[in-house]
Copies of this chain bind each other. A is one copy, B any other.
Amino acid sequence: MGTSPDPPASADQLAAELFGAMAYGELSAFGRLSFDSRYAPTLHDRSVLAKIAVGAYGNFALLSDRLSEMGIDPEEAMLPFQRSFDHFHERTKPGDWLESVMKAYVIDTVSSDFYRAVAGFLDAGTQQFVERVASPDQATEVLRVLLRRALADDPRLASRLALWGRRLVGEALTQAQRVGMEHPRVGPTLKNGGDARAAVRKLTGELAERHARRMTELGLTA
């Protein structure tokens, strides 16, 4: 008991906090990815990134509606997470088009893994809802194809994109860990009777591992 001064969170409180974080994550991804889409070399490429941004907005809308149904103001639920996500985006401004594509790919896949992992802590109904938000988009595959093609055309890109991928996932997981530690309801719930820090560390490790596997599949050193 001494290690956990916070009262255990109700399922609804936890869901509200998670959905708030997810909603702001998606809304901020929408803004940044659509902004980055302007640097696409062709209009077709621009529309690819725009589509990923639109998918992020769709997830935001799902989460925001769900919060409203729960009687929670989406704005209030999102605000505590704004600083962390904005900080992530500030620290990961793509330097060119391919870095934008890689960023979209990493955000899309890592957040989907994160949602799936988190769903395991929730009740069946909420789990189903989170699965819907996390469901992979056709657009993700398009990003993968874009990255593969660029790497095939110019293998010298590999080391730069590998470095960028590590930077992105490093910043993402640092922010995610901070969120997990700072928000008292998330920590104790994740610990599941164990050590909150250990639980967050385990989740972080799993996300990093899956990311590394995807980078390897692209031919990059994660």
Chain A interfacial positions (CB closer than 8 Å to B): 24, 27, 30-31, 34-35, 37-38, 42-44, 46-47, 50-51, 53-54, 57-58, 60-61, 64, 74-75, 78-79, 82
**How distant is the Cα of A53 from the Cα of B74 in the complex, in angstroms?**
20
Taking a contact as CB atoms closer than 8 A, the residue among B34, B75, B79, B82 that contacts A34 in the complex is B34
Inter-subunit contact B30/A82 (CB<8 Å): no
Taking CB atoms, residues of chain B closer than 8 Å to A38 are 31, 35
Taking a contact as CB atoms closer than 8 A, the residue among B34, B57, B74 that contacts A44 in the complex is B74
**How distant is the Cα of A37 from the Cα of B35 in the complex, in angstroms?**
10
Taking CB atoms, residues of chain B closer than 8 Å to A24 are 43
Inter-subunit contact B42/A75 (CB<8 Å): yes
Taking CB atoms, residues of chain B closer than 8 Å to A31 are 34-35, 37-38, 46, 50
Q: Which applies to chain A's interface (DSSP): helix, strand, loop or mixed? A: helix
Inter-subunit contact B43/A82 (CB<8 Å): yes
Taking CB atoms, residues of chain B closer than 8 Å to A47 are 27, 60-61, 64
Taking CB atoms, residues of chain B closer than 8 Å to A44 are 74-75
- 14 A–B contact pairs at CB < 8 A? A27-B46, A27-B50, A30-B34, A34-B34, A34-B35, A34-B53, A43-B74, A43-B78, A43-B79, A43-B82, A44-B74, A47-B60, A51-B57, A54-B57
Taking CB atoms, residues of chain B closer than 8 Å to A82 are 43
Taking a contact as CB atoms closer than 8 A, the residue among B43, B58, B75, B78 that contacts A27 in the complex is B43
What is the distance, in angstroms, from A33's C-beta to the closest C-beta of chain B?
Answer: 9
What is the distance, in angstroms, from A20's C-beta to the closest C-beta of chain B?
Answer: 10
What is the distance, in angstroms, from A94's C-beta to the closest C-beta of chain B?
Answer: 15
Most chain B CB within 10 A, of A27, A46, A47, A78, is at A47
